[in-house]
């Protein structure tokens, strides 16, 4: 197996990464945080998605020695001046409490008319890998999915704010789309597809 490390414990992200990479590297094995020796994960202290993704990718390759991917993504709501942004996962104050985050967002937009409930998801994916004598090479790509925030939770798929977000040109939330439909238009899918050939070139050249 050809191994690449994704700095995540989210099984859906690991499956998504492998599903996209396997088109380029059929024998790829995507390892997650639970598959490697624990290490100190860096705090997401940067004020951009790209900065946070790079922090995590650098720490991952330093700890594992494997070609490493990391992502940071979030929801940017125009009426909230681009927030929650990099704070998306902890918007309600507790990290990764999707229910609380969604409830808070609905409360904040309660009086905002539909035409001003525009938003977009942004994803940054960073790839870092060992080169030469102790060196590291890095790549970062961004993907966006524009859309709008609806007024009620809909759907059971996806994660995070997917239950509230309808992409431009659609009527169903991201949480109501099939895996294939979401991959085709999602911010993360776009970013992963853009970086996949770079990852494949590195993996097949090792």
Residue 57: per-residue pLDDT: 97
pTM of the model: 0.89
Residues forming the annotated binding site?
A: 8-13, 72-73, 159-162, 182, 187-188
Catalytically active residues are 72
C-alpha separations of 123 from 1, 93, 144, 145 in Å? 28, 21, 6, 9
pLDDT tens per residue, range 58-113: 999 999 999 999 999 999 999 999 999 999 999 999 777 999 999 999 999 999 99
In tens, the pLDDT along 5-53 reads 999 998 878 988 898 889 888 999 999 999 999 999 999 999 999 999 9
DSSP string covering 186-206: -HHHHHHHHHHHHHHHHHHH-
Known binding residues for Mg(2+) are 72
Report CA torsion sign: 170, 173, 174, 177. Answer: negative
159-177 pLDDT tens trace: 899 999 999 999 999 999 9
All structural domains of the chain: 2-205 (3.90.950.10)
């Amino acid at each position: 197996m050809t191994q690449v490390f994704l700095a995540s414990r989210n099984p859906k992200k690991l499956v998504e990464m492998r599903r996209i990479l396997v088109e380029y590297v059929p024998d790829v094995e995507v390892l997650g945080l639970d598959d490697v020796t624990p290490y100190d994960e860096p705090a997401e202290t940067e004020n951009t998605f790209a900065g946070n993704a790079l922090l995590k990718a650098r720490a991952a390759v330093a700890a594992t020695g494997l070609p490493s991917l990391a992502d940071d993504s979030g929801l940017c709501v125009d009426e909230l001046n681009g927030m929650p942004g990099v704070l998306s996962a902890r918007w309600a104050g507790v990290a990764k409490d999707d229910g609380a985050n969604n409830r808070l967002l609905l409360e904040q937009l309660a009086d905002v008319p539909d035409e001003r409930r525009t938003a977009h998801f942004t994803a940054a994916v960073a790839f870092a890998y060992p080169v030469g004598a102790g060196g590291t090479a890095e790549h970062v790509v961004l993907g966006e999915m524009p859309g709008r925030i609806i007024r009620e939770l809909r759907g059971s798929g996806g994660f995070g704010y997917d239950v509230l977000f309808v992409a431009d040109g659609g009527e169903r939330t991201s949480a109501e789309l099939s895996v294939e439909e979401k991959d085709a238009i999602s911010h993360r899918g776009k970013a992963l597809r853009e970086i996949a050939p770079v990852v494949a070139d590195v993996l097949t050249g090792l």
